[in-house]
Structure 1
Amino acid sequence: MAKYEHPETDFPEAYKLCKLFNLTQENLITVRNGMTKEIINGLGRESHARSSIRCFLSYVQNLPTGQERGRFLALEMWPTNGRIMLVKFSSEKDIYMSSKCVIVPHTVAGARGTQLFDFLADNIAIFVKEKKVEKENLPMGIAFAFALNKLALDVGMLVAWTKGYGAQGVVGKDVVQLLRNSLAKHKDISVNLAGIINISAGSLMALCWSHVNTKIGLIIGTVTNAAYVELSSQCERYEGSPELPLMIINTEWAQFGANGHLDFMRNEFDKLVDEDSTHPGQKYYEKCISTLYLGELVRLIVVRLMDMGVMFTDYNQDYIGIHWKMEMKSLIGIVSDPPGVYVHGQEVMDKFKMRNCQERDLAMLKYICQVVCDRSAKLVAAGLAALINRMNYSQISISVDGGIYRLFPRYQEVLNRHTQQLANPHNKFEIVVAEDSPGVGAAIMAGLAVSLAQNK
């Protein structure tokens, strides 16, 4: 039997601090209900601007059937990089994809917007020539990781840059038109820029091609977001055709908590992380969930216990004391050790120049990681349950993209279990790891948009 199975008696000081991260079923119901209220406000015409879950319209109103065929282009824009893709759908089972990664230099990411979009257009031109499709006017979709206010399928006004981008003169402008302007400078290529969607909607569309019941796209990575399928009649800000009954909604739920719904559970460590973040006072939900912040929460708890003289007492804080140095891959390594084994945990601490640690300290570290990550999974479950209950389908698939779910079995188990507890029992769901990237969904969206336009 493994030692250190009883945190309350084995390391009471850590147990006491970690109690700050415990959420009861009642707490989670409160979060779920608060999210439901904010979603309704986000969909409303008058209440939209004051909601912490803005529920932006995507203007994607047709879901894939799995019968789509042809070749399409896509551009994925993430905070750290981009990717240009050629996607070919040739049968129900066969997706061929060729792609090229594009690293946007810091000098370009922070320059004038025209320079950024010229850079992207230059790379698209090189790619389509390499693939010998430069004259084919293939439909192209953009999967975009930054908040947009969509006014049409191919009109997306940038709300704000985040995470390393600061291209000037773009906020409040139509991203699609800016890229069109830059592509127009390349007279020797022909690309049909058909639309733009956010990353979570792209993930939803990509899985929907093979799982036609897909109704939610979930991102849990350095950022978190969700897109879901809403009834157009419930979208008060939509002024389009009533003949199209559905609308994919980009929730932008990272900002949940701005109206006080998470104040009851945010603890002293959450507040320290927020104060030290790039955007203090924003994105409280994301700061309790995403991988960017979980490692820092763990590090802060460890440093506090070291200050108390009850953990890693033989070591200094020269490295563990550096802010933001505990990465998500370290957390996953720590919790991946089987019971009573701390090989990966010690490997992580070696990076912090803390060698030959006491087994009890490594057990305490593993416990802290589990508690912090469990809270993240439970909060995501509350959000998923709010969407599942709202849509009220008897059976849905949920596309999830992000390493913490893919690589961390305990996270999967906690997220599934609590979503089941918080969702209505007659709303069955399955969470499916996204094998195809959001760019594939953007490519499908572009193809659907062009075929719909041709059939009008």
Structure 2
Amino acid sequence: MVSPKLQKRVNQILKSFEVSQDLILRGVDHFIDMATKGLETKDDPEALLMIPTYVTSIPSGEEKGVLLAADLGGTNFRVVSVTLNGDHTFSLVQSKSPIPIDLMTGTSAELFHWLAEKVQKFVETHHGDSIETGGKFKLGFTFSFPVDQTSLDSGTLDRWTKGFDVRDAIGQDIVALFQQHLDALKVPVKVSALANDTVGTLLARSYTGANKEGETVIGCIFGTGTNGAYAEKLDNIKKIPESVRNELKANGVTEMVINTEWGSFDNQLQILPKTKWDEEVDKNSANPGFHMFEKRVSGMFLGEILRQVLLDLYREGLILKPYAKEDDLPHRLRTPWTLSSEAMSLFEIDDSTGLKASELKLQQMLRLPTNSDERLVIQQLTRAIAHRSAYLAAIPISAILIKVGAFDGHHVEVDVGADGSVVEFYPGYRTMMRDAIALTQLGPKGERRLHINISKDGSSVGAALCALSEQDEE
């Protein structure tokens, strides 16, 4: 049992992380409103970005070919060779390299030269024969940051997120930057498509899922960051000039995949909950005032929220009492972003005696000795922060399904492809999301007809599918 004084304070904190049904319902309505505005204009601060991707066809699962994909999405850079077998299956070979911290805040030349070198090494290792015969590869580039995309293979960087801050890349065409450094190294690769990881997840799940559990309506990410993509009717995307829309329609195009950039849902905090710890996390982030939804939902921020709460409980004299002053606390506990959502996964389900597994993890990760009371408190806080994340995650999914009329018709089943460490590995996360979806306007009936499936390797396979679409056009 935790001491009554400590538990009373913890209960107050737990209450501040609760998400009511009323908040979820208002959130869904607000999301639909922000999305509708975002399809009509580029400049409304109260609108979602709703970026047109110029991806205008969803895979059938019968596509064939060998393609490359590169994925810059968070802390790692992946290069992948994808073989599409034409029967809803694929195989892939990949390499993964952690991005050096200094490149995340350096110059665009340093970052993109490093990326090009990784592609060069991969191609030489896995496709040396094709190079000798003069083969040139098409590559789909998954670039998971806000981009103003102007065609399938061009787009200018709007701003960085997830700890990146390469200032001189903002406003530049990301594909041209990448291609320039590939060409300089004489790598036989053409960057044929720019894909967001959520767009890739949507396409990859459509390729492998092939309507087994209904049409795939949304591709979404709940990992380091969070975002979603879906196919919107071309006529509704008013921000695309009418002449361009007419030209697309003349070619038989009726819809286009939209990258919602829902990490920035409700930056004005009209609906989203706000605690003093959320404010601290936002203040310490690389982009204060932006991505307020992401900062309550995604894996990059959950551990930091928990760390901020623990520091406050210490300052109130309720935990970690052997430390006389804050400067005496272990350095890692005083350092932002050191407490991971991966560790929270362990705290969430720890049922060992005295939470011994959590004790070891805290020692190993933060060099932090704890007593059993403190570990029980950490588990309670972990569960509240993760529960809030999963309940908020239900808002954009439900809103998009309502907006596109996904359940119109008789006995319709709907599929959502999801990728990312939080949705895949955090214990009970998808179950909590579903509980919250049942509380939305979709109700329990809609929740029962909805299937949320993990779209493994979605971002890379989907990027390859974007490149294949460009290949077909030629």
Question: What TM-score do you get using the length of structure 1 for normalisation?
Answer: 0.90
Give the direction of change, closer, same or farther, for the CA distance of 1:401–1:303 in structure 2 (3 Å limit). same
CA shift for structure 1 position 340: 7.0
Which residue number in structure 1 is paired with residue 24 of structure 2? 28
Which residue number in structure 2 is paired with residue 194 of structure 1? 192
Cα distance between partner residues in 2 of 1:26 and 1:150? 36
Deviations for 1:217-262, whole angstroms, at most 9, x for unmatched residues? 1111221111112111111122331221121111111122223423
Which residue number in structure 2 is paired with residue 90 of structure 1? 85
- Code of the residue aligned with 1:357 in structure 2: it is N
Which residue number in structure 1 is paired with residue 426 of structure 2? 408
Which residue number in structure 2 is paired with residue 442 of structure 1? 463
Gaps of 5+ in 1: none
Q: Which of 199, 215, 221 pairs up with 2:217?
A: 215
Q: Which of 256, 268, 276 pairs up with 1:268?
A: 276
Write the mapping of 1:194-343 to structure 2, written as runs, cut at 5 A.
194-212=192-210, 213-238=215-240, 239-240=244-245, 241-242=248-249, 243-262=252-271, 265-314=273-322, 318-319=329-330, 320-338=333-351, 342-343=355-356
Cα distance between partner residues in 1 of 2:95 and 2:275? 43
Cα distance between partner residues in 1 of 2:180 and 2:32? 40
Deviations for 1:427-448, whole angstroms, at most 9, x for unmatched residues? 5321111222401100011112
SS of the aligned residue for 1:326 comes to coil
- Code of the residue aligned with 2:338 in structure 1: it is K
Cα distance between partner residues in 1 of 2:404 and 2:45? 23
Residues 32 and 383 of structure 1 are in contact (CA less than 8 Å); yes or no, is this contact kept in structure 2? yes
Which residue number in structure 1 is paired with residue 452 of structure 2? 431
Which residue number in structure 1 is paired with residue 410 of structure 2? none
Which residue number in structure 2 is paired with residue 399 of structure 1? 417
Residues 154 and 195 of structure 1 are in contact (CA less than 8 Å); yes or no, is this contact kept in structure 2? yes
Which residue number in structure 2 is paired with residue 178 of structure 1? 177
CA RMSD of aligned residues (A): 2.5
Question: What TM-score do you get using the length of structure 2 for normalisation?
Answer: 0.86
CA shift for structure 1 position 16: 1.1
Give the direction of change, closer, same or farther, for the CA distance of 1:183–1:401 in structure 2 (3 Å limit). same
CA shift for structure 1 position 13: 1.6
Q: Which of 348, 371, 388 pairs up with 2:401?
A: 388
Residues 39 and 51 of structure 1 are in contact (CA less than 8 Å); yes or no, is this contact kept in structure 2? no
Residues 202 and 458 of structure 2 are in contact (CA less than 8 Å); yes or no, is this contact kept in structure 1? no
CA shift for structure 1 position 93: 5.1
Cα distance between partner residues in 2 of 1:182 and 1:295? 36
Residues 51 and 148 of structure 2 are in contact (CA less than 8 Å); yes or no, is this contact kept in structure 1? yes
Deviations for 1:63-109, whole angstroms, at most 9, x for unmatched residues? 11000111111111123231211110124254121122244445555
- Code of the residue aligned with 2:75 in structure 1: it is T
CA shift for structure 1 position 415: 0.7
Residues 75 and 84 of structure 1 are in contact (CA less than 8 Å); yes or no, is this contact kept in structure 2? yes
Determine whether 1:99 maps to 2:94: yes
CA shift for structure 1 position 286: 1.1
Which residue number in structure 2 is paired with residue 157 of structure 1? 156
Determine whether 1:40 maps to 2:59: no
Determine whether 1:145 maps to 2:144: yes
Which residue number in structure 1 is paired with residue 67 of structure 2? 72
Q: How many residues align?
A: 445
Give the direction of change, closer, same or farther, for the CA distance of 1:281–1:297 in structure 2 (3 Å limit). same
Give the direction of change, closer, same or farther, for the CA distance of 1:112–1:371 in structure 2 (3 Å limit). closer
Cα distance between partner residues in 2 of 1:181 and 1:267? 45
Deviations for 1:314-355, whole angstroms, at most 9, x for unmatched residues? 556512444333221221111111387623222233344454
Residues 179 and 190 of structure 2 are in contact (CA less than 8 Å); yes or no, is this contact kept in structure 1? no
Give the direction of change, closer, same or farther, for the CA distance of 1:323–1:124 in structure 2 (3 Å limit). closer
More helix by share: 2
Cα distance between partner residues in 2 of 1:94 and 1:383? 29
Gaps of 5+ in 2: 408-412
Identity of aligned residues (%): 22
